[in-house]
Amino acid sequence: MKVFKFGGASINSVERIKNVAKIIDSYKGEKLLIIISAMGKITNALETVADAFYSSDKDEALQLFYQVKDAHTGLAGQLTNEPVSELNDIFTEVEWLLHDKPVRNYDYYYDQIVCCGELLSTAIISNYLAAVDIKNRWIDVRDIIRTDDNFRDANIDWNYTQQKVKEVIVPLFETSNIIITQGFIGATDENESTTLGREGSDFSAAIFANMLDAESQTIWKDVEGVMNADPKLFEDAQFIKTLSYAEVIEMAYYGAQVIHPKTIKPLQNKGIPLHVRCFLNPESTGTIISKQAVYDLPPIIVLKNKQVLMQFSSLDYSFAEEALAGKLNELFAENKLRANLSQNGAISLLCCVDDIPAKIEKLALAASHLFDVQIEKSCELLTIRHYNEEIIDKLTAGRIQLLLQKTRQTIQVVMTSENF
Ligand code: ASP
């Protein structure tokens, strides 16, 4: 049994959906569990619906949702004349909600609205596959993946989910070789929809791969495989054929957009290899990620823009030790912020964080009772694994370095091009 994951770019047009069907068909006779994301930029579009709804602009929310609806019905009609029976139920679920007034927090509504992207794409693709004689079963993953109610970043209930996989998915494979379901979403024990964080479909696939003891997981992308840098930023980015779990979890942790950071653990725990392959060139083997250590890697570069360097200095010259640092950690957790890099000084703490203005302001305000807070905006965080002096010089040239940390394998620099 293999697990496949197709992302939004692989299904953003009639041609690409047909291409996905061709790839699936080339695995005739094999058992495949297929996780699919929302089409193209639909998750972004649904986020704007959620925003409008939460600002109590019902008409705008409905208007925006009708555009999403039209995009899906239009595409479904172009693929086949067979009606997609699930679509109306999925549309109605959201439309009902949009007629209400928001009385709960934003994250809750976000999940109830945004989750429909994956439900719609999978229903349409499952229907198309059936129409071209690729027998398959469509599953609403919210009946399988149980989470807590930490909306927008829900945590998996591993025991319950494993039980459901055993009860529902395993027997289904006795009658169907292909199961189609959604990435990114789950549900609470009260049947409220939840999401696992943006780009979470890779993680959904890994959950199933782990629980089904899959022989492999394949993520089908629009690039050859994993590169040593983002090819959109670095034109000489190199393709890497093999990588270890350890290397990839580090890359994802530092912000490389290759794979959702939570994907590796469930695969590593069961020794399941992860393939990253190109849906535009399915003959190519792509990158294989496994437990095998890989030596002689090129420098691996991750550049994160939109960073803020925050300096928290104690108000009365107290040392910034455990007690104060602990309080700061609590404030970070309460505001759902994570320091991408931090450093302690005698009476101050430096933290580099993603620039999410509303969260930064809240954190700064809450911390101002304990610290003098200084904020440096418009920073970049450069991480290079397997660095050499030449690459550091090249990538930091002309920049002011605000904070630098170096281990034997990794160097991280917070830098800015702005003068004080
Ligand atoms: N559709 C979701 C997103 O765009 C999840 C995913 O694609 O993995 O973030």
210 close to ligand 1 (CB < 6 Angstrom):
no
Q: How many domains does the chain have?
A: 2
Pocket probe for ligand 1: among 122, 181, 182, 184, the residue whose CB has the most ligand atoms within 8 Å is 184
CA separation (Å) from 290 to 190, 212, 250? 37, 18, 14
Whether residue 333 sits in one domain with residue 272: no
Whether residue 220 sits in one domain with residue 258: yes
pLDDT at 418: 64
How many A from CA of 312 to the centre of ligand 1? 34
Whether residue 282 sits in one domain with residue 262: yes
Whether residue 357 sits in one domain with residue 309: yes
75 contact partners, CB below 8 Å, separation of at least 6: 14, 17, 39, 124
Domain stop point among 270, 290, 310: 290
**Closest ligand 1 atom, residue 204 Cα:** 8
CATH number at residue 329: 3.30.2130.10
Residue 107 lies in a domain: yes
pLDDT at 420: 47
How many A from CA of 43 to the centre of ligand 1? 6
Domain stop point among 221, 256, 290: 290
Whether residue 327 sits in one domain with residue 280: no
Average pLDDT of span 370-394:
96
How many A from CA of 411 to the centre of ligand 1? 30
Which domain, by its residues, includes 332? 300-417
Across the chain, mean pLDDT equals: 95
Residue 269 lies in a domain: yes
Residue 148 lies in a domain: yes
Whether residue 306 sits in one domain with residue 283: no
Whether residue 104 sits in one domain with residue 23: yes
pLDDT at 10: 97
Average pLDDT of span 205-231:
96
Average pLDDT of span 130-138:
97
The span from the CA of 136 to the CA of 111, in Å, is: 27
Residue 183 lies in a domain: yes
43 close to ligand 1 (CB < 6 Angstrom):
yes
CATH number at residue 230: 3.40.1160.10
pLDDT at 319: 86
Whether residue 9 sits in one domain with residue 82: yes
Whether residue 318 sits in one domain with residue 277: no
Whether residue 18 sits in one domain with residue 111: yes
The pLDDT tens digits for 291-328 are: 999 999 999 999 999 999 999 999 999 888 888 899 99
Residue 279 lies in a domain: yes
The pLDDT tens digits for 77-125 are: 999 998 899 999 999 999 999 999 999 999 999 999 999 999 999 999 9
How many A from CA of 321 to the centre of ligand 1? 39
Residue 295 lies in a domain: no
The pLDDT tens digits for 141-196 are: 999 999 999 999 999 999 999 999 999 999 999 999 999 999 999 999 999 999 99
Domain stop point among 234, 265, 290: 290
Residue 322 lies in a domain: yes
pLDDT at 320: 83
Is pLDDT above 60 for 18? yes
β-strand partners of 131: none
Is pLDDT above 60 for 419? no
Average pLDDT of span 319-340:
91
Whether residue 332 sits in one domain with residue 264: no
Whether residue 337 sits in one domain with residue 233: no
